[in-house]
A and B are shown apart, each in its own frame.
Chain A
Amino acid sequence: MTSASRTRRAALLVALAVPSALVLAAGPAQAADAATVSVLHAIPTGSGADVVDVYAGDALLIDNFTPGTLKTLEVPAGTYDLGVYADGETPAADTPVLEAKGVAVPAGANATVTANLTAAGAPALNVFINDTSKTAAGQARVTVRHIAAAPAVDVRVNGNVAFSDLTNPNEVKTDLAAASYQADVVLAGTDTVAIGPATLDLAEGTNTIVYAWGSAEAGNLALATQVISGLHSTPAAVDAGDGSSQSGLPGWVLGVAVLAAVGAAGAGVRLATTRA
């Protein structure tokens, strides 16, 4: 690593002001004392964090992490000091590029930590709670997170503005019918396309999280996607018939009628037998 980039990287040091930043929502199907933490590297290439290592305390969490990649980890519940270090550097010997101290990770939590640019273009760590509540049968959830060095945007779905005036580092979300949608990101209040259009396949029972990341100034705005599955619910019922084969009579009436007919036939047979 060159000294120039080292200086730049060091200047990017970030601390979380609130040590309790990571308070997370419960996710399904987890070990009793485990949590799910995803980490997204969303600092564009050339910003001083091209290849980094992510540490939790002194333990290596992610090795050789590069821009645009997402890692999902199962971690024991606990409180962590997260640090992003230049490739090969360590908490014991070095100063992090970015850090978040005292991050509380409760059991069953599901969150995503993003290393990204602020609207103004400075690297930062953000913690998002992922909504893992159940989706209704046939529905999917979409979450859009603005973590790009870019102004406010609108998100259009199938040509219509679905979310307006989304700013870094915020998110919007909604549940909608599971299907394939065309989405793009435009500068808020305009038709000027910043990202896309892209096809979003929203699978039933998932939370598809779309990140708008990169830098408008550098011309490298892009989308990254994270999918959390297993949120589905069952249909309410199986109503399979309109009763038209039941002659409009309650079933028990038919049953009695059948029994009566069988009984009459049986009596007839017995009578015939006797006569024979």
Chain B
Amino acid sequence: MRRPRPAVVVLALSLTALGTAGVVTGATLVAAGSAPGVDGSVGARPLGVATAAAAPSTRTPSTTPANVVGAPFRELPQTPPGPVVPPVRVSIPSLGVRSDVVPTGVDRDGTTQIPEDVDVLGWYRYGPAPRDSGSTVIVGHRDGRGQGRGALYALGALSVGDPIRVTLADGSRVDYRVVAREVLDKQAVPLEDIFARSGGRVLSLISCGGVYDRARGGYQANVLVTAVPV
């Protein structure tokens, strides 16, 4: 266990000296108080705690009636996440696609993990499932060496209004219709929106498109199809 860092304590005190909270930026605090050590862990301690025994009380017992918690304090509910029902199959009639869906995560390089089998689609398992608020992200390779075209090869040919059906692990289904189809330069892909974990329920289907330029990292664009529950 490392000892507390003097810099943290000094910062804390100086921040308080500023007085009003509005002046204090949390980002500064986080940066100063949470700098990871070389071993990936941080030694920290609660700030400024001391104990002192006081003289025994000579009070008489209180007869004050029970109080009620009220404004300005608000207790935040402890809501454990509900059961997640993952998608297991995607059907896109207008493309002749019927593909299995497996849960995926993140590759070592921080990019979205995509099933090696180009016929199989991946559901970003850290984000919402179709019955949850937010964006359900399903990805698939456009192509793969020795495998030919992937299930989402023709994603860019979908039209607004086309139906998409997603089957969930419990056998239930969610029907969507396409509301947008975009080909986005990889530098301009709105990842925050696509991977949103709150807001309206949408399905985001993503593959690659545009020019394939090996020297510049492969496909230069993403094809994004957005669909909403019917």
Contacts and interface: CB of A to CB of B under 8 A. Distances in A.
Interface in A127-172: 127-129, 131-133, 136-138, 152, 163-167, 169-172
Contacts of B213: 250
A105 B21 contact: yes
Contact of B21 (A104, A205, A234): A104
B40 A175 contact: yes
Contact of A59 (B30, B73, B150): B73
A106 B21 contact: yes
Interface string B177-200: 000000000100101101101000
Contact of B195 (A35, A104, A235): A235
Contact of A234 (B42, B57, B142, B191): B191
Given A17-B48, A137-B106, A242-B143, A95 B64 contact: no
Interface string A166-198: 110111111100100000000000000000000
Interface stretch (B11-19, B89-97, B156-164, B167-175): B11-19
A47 to B, nearest CB: 14
A13 B24 CA distance: 31
Interface in A93-147: 93-95, 104-109, 118, 122, 124-129, 131-133, 136-138
Interface residues of B, number: 94
A271 interface: no
Most buried by B among A56, A173, A178, A230: A173
Given A16-B50, A53-B67, A236 B212 contact: no
A240 B219 contact: yes
A63 B63 CA distance: 16
Interface residues of A, number: 104
A124 to B, nearest CB: 5
A205 B147 CA distance: 34
B147 to A, nearest CB: 8
A245 interface: yes
A124 B51 contact: yes
B143 A26 contact: no
B76 A241 contact: no
Contacts of B41: 163, 172-174
Interface in B12-35: 12-13, 15-17, 21-22, 24-27, 29-30, 33-34
Given A63-B68, A78-B21, A251 B211 contact: yes
B64 A93 contact: yes
A124 B49 contact: yes
Chain B interface, DSSP helix/strand/loop, else mixed: loop
Interface in B53-84: 53-57, 59, 61-62, 64-70, 72-76, 78, 81
* Chain A residues touching B, majority SS: loop
A1 interface: yes
Given A73-B76, A137-B126, A235-B195, A242 B144 contact: yes
Interface string A228-251: 011010111111111111100011
Given A73-B73, A203-B81, A235-B124, A250 B211 contact: yes
A104 B150 CA distance: 57
B141 interface: yes
B139 interface: yes
A215 B63 CA distance: 32
Interface string A72-93: 1111111000000000111011
Contacts of A238: 111-112, 114, 139, 189, 206-208, 222
Contact of A136 (B55, B110, B208): B110
B219 A243 contact: yes
A229 B78 CA distance: 11
Interface in A4-37: 6-7, 9-27, 33, 35-36
A270 interface: no
B197 A245 contact: no
B143 A129 contact: no
A26 B111 contact: no
A258 B155 CA distance: 19
A235 B219 contact: no
Nearest to B46: A126
A61 interface: yes
Contact of B148 (A27, A245, A251): A245
11 contacts: A7-B57, A9-B57, A13-B54, A14-B53, A14-B54, A15-B54, A164-B1, A170-B43, A238-B111, A241-B142, A244-B143
